[in-house]
């Protein structure tokens, strides 16, 4: 069984990761306490934001929107060129209005209206969908389907799933599909999650929103329609992966989990079994998992529960066109280098 290994060496990074080389794709994994907000900065100076975290009852504080704006400042960005909510749950699009009050948004990208009729109070799907629609009415709006491309200079951004349907692109046979059982269906909004693959030279990154187990298996079985991936942002805040992901051969997995949401003990055990996976990085220490159910602290951005410690730290990925990349932990001011695949 493959094991997630401790880094051999961590190097102190000057200026807490704020310095960006002009020839890198930089990706900021922002702490939204169990939501998602992932900011991409291209070498051409364009930005793409995937999800906007939660809304804050105190609009002056706007915790998640403020953290996104802070990451944008680190990236020397003054606006969001592309904003793509993966779906319309409150932990993914709730912060849209508060974000738009802090940063102008040029293009809104989604796969159509919300589909979930009812949800827990925290999600408030219809309300957040309407707030989002009011914001995109002020700018440009693009509706995408599986197989489409999202315009961003210097990157190939391909929609591999949308509206609950995978791309029809051909792929290689996936030998890991036999025996994978289906699971109870996910809720409608999670099922509709947009999934994308971002390619920069030889480097490849995936983000599938909250795509449930069954939809991810459909995307990867019986053919792997995605190809290999260097950095796999785990769907569902770090839910347990199936053996289908063995075919995409991720080197690194990153979970946008919370202290008690996502990346639990079963998921950690499953990730340890992924062939070739070098490291699992978490935005939060998973409290139920304890010491044995988490990677080493060096791979975790926030160790304490909300309100009690260092929450708000981020992870940053910087990728080169040759496929090499680094991961930076703002809590520790350290980085780990990953050489290009051979």
* Gap between the Cα atoms of 276 and 252, Å rounded: 9
Task: State both tokens at 207.
Answer: 């983000």
pLDDT digits (tens, 9 = 90+) for 97-132: 999 999 999 999 999 988 876 555 445 676 677 888
Distance CA(173)–CA(1), nearest Å, equals: 23
Instruction: Give the CA-trace dihedral at 303, 290, 265, 325, to 10 degrees.
Output: 40
User: 181-210: per-residue pLDDT in tens?
Assistant: 999 998 999 999 999 999 999 999 999 999
293: left (phi over 0), alpha (psi -120 to 50) or beta: alpha
Cβ proximity of 243 and 271 under 8 Å: no
In this structure, what are the phi and psi dihedrals at residue 296, rounded to the nearest 5 degrees?
Answer: -55, 150
Q: What is the DSSP letter of 191?
A: H
pLDDT (tens, 9 = 90+) of the chain, 342 residues, equals 444 444 433 433 333 344 444 699 999 999 999 999 999 999 999 999 999 999 999 999 999 999 999 999 999 999 999 999 999 999 999 999 999 999 999 999 999 988 876 555 445 676 677 888 888 888 899 999 999 999 999 999 999 999 999 999 999 999 999 999 999 998 999 999 999 999 999 999 999 999 999 999 999 999 999 999 999 999 999 999 999 999 999 999 999 999 999 999 999 999 999 999 999 999 999 999 999 999 999 999 999 887 666 679 999 999 999 999 999 999 999 999 999 998
Q: Pairing between strand 25-29 and 38-41?
A: antiparallel
Query: Of the candidates 103, 132, 129, 134, which has an alpha carbon nearest to the alpha carbon of residue 41?
Result: 103
Give the number of other CB atoms < 10 A from CB of residue 178: 9
For the record, the structure tokens of 336 come out as 């780990």
- Phi, psi angles (nearest 5°) of residue 299: -100, 15
Write down all domains in the chain, each with its CATH number in brackets.
11-338 (3.60.15.10)
Do 93 and 105 meet the contact criterion of CB atoms below 8 Å apart? no
Whether omega before 222 lies within 30 degrees of 0, making that bond cis, reads yes
**Owner of token pair 């390619």:** 199
Residue 183 structure tokens: 């699971």
């Amino acid at each position: 069984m493959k094991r997630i290994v401790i880094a051999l060496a961590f190097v102190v990074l000057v200026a807490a990761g704020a310095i960006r080389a002009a020839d890198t794709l930089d990706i900021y994994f922002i702490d939204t306490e169990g939501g998602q907000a992932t900011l991409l900065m291209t070498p051409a100076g364009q930005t793409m934001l995937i999800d906007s975290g939660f809304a804050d009852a105190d609009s002056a504080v706007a915790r998640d929107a403020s953290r996104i704006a802070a990451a944008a400042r680190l990236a020397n960005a003054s606006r969001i060129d592309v904003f793509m909510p993966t779906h319309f749950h409150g932990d993914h699009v709730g912060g849209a209005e508060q974000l738009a009050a802090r940063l102008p948004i040029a293009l809104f990208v989604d796969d159509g209206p919300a589909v979930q009729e009812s949800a827990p109070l925290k999600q408030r799907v219809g309300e957040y969908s309407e707030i989002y629609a009011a914001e995109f009415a002020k700018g440009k709006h693009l509706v995408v389907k599986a197989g489409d491309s999202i315009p961003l200079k210097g990157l190939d951004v391909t929609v591999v799933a949308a509206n609950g349907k995978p791309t029809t692109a051909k792929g290689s046979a996936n030998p890991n599909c036999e025996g994978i059982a289906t699971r109870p269906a996910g809720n409608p909004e999670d099922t509709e999650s947009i999934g994308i693959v971002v390619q920069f030279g030889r480097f490849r990154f995936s983000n599938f929103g909250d795509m449930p187990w069954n939809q991810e298996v459909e995307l990867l079985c019986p053919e792997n329609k995605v190809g290999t991936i260097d950095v796999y942002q785990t769907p569902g805040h770090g839910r347990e992966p199936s053996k289908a992901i063995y075919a995409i051969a991720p080197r690194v997995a990153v979970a946008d989990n919370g202290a008690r949401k996502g990346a639990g003990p079963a998921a950690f055990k499953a990730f340890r079994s992924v062939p070739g996976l070098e490291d699992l990085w978490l935005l939060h220490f998973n409290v139920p998992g304890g010491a044995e159910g988490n990677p080493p602290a060096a791979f975790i951005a926030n160790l304490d529960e909300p309100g009690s410690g260092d929450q708000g730290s981020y992870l940053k990925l910087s990728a080169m066109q040759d496929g090499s990349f680094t991961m930076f932990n703002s809590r520790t001011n350290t980085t780990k280098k990953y050489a290009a695949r051979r």
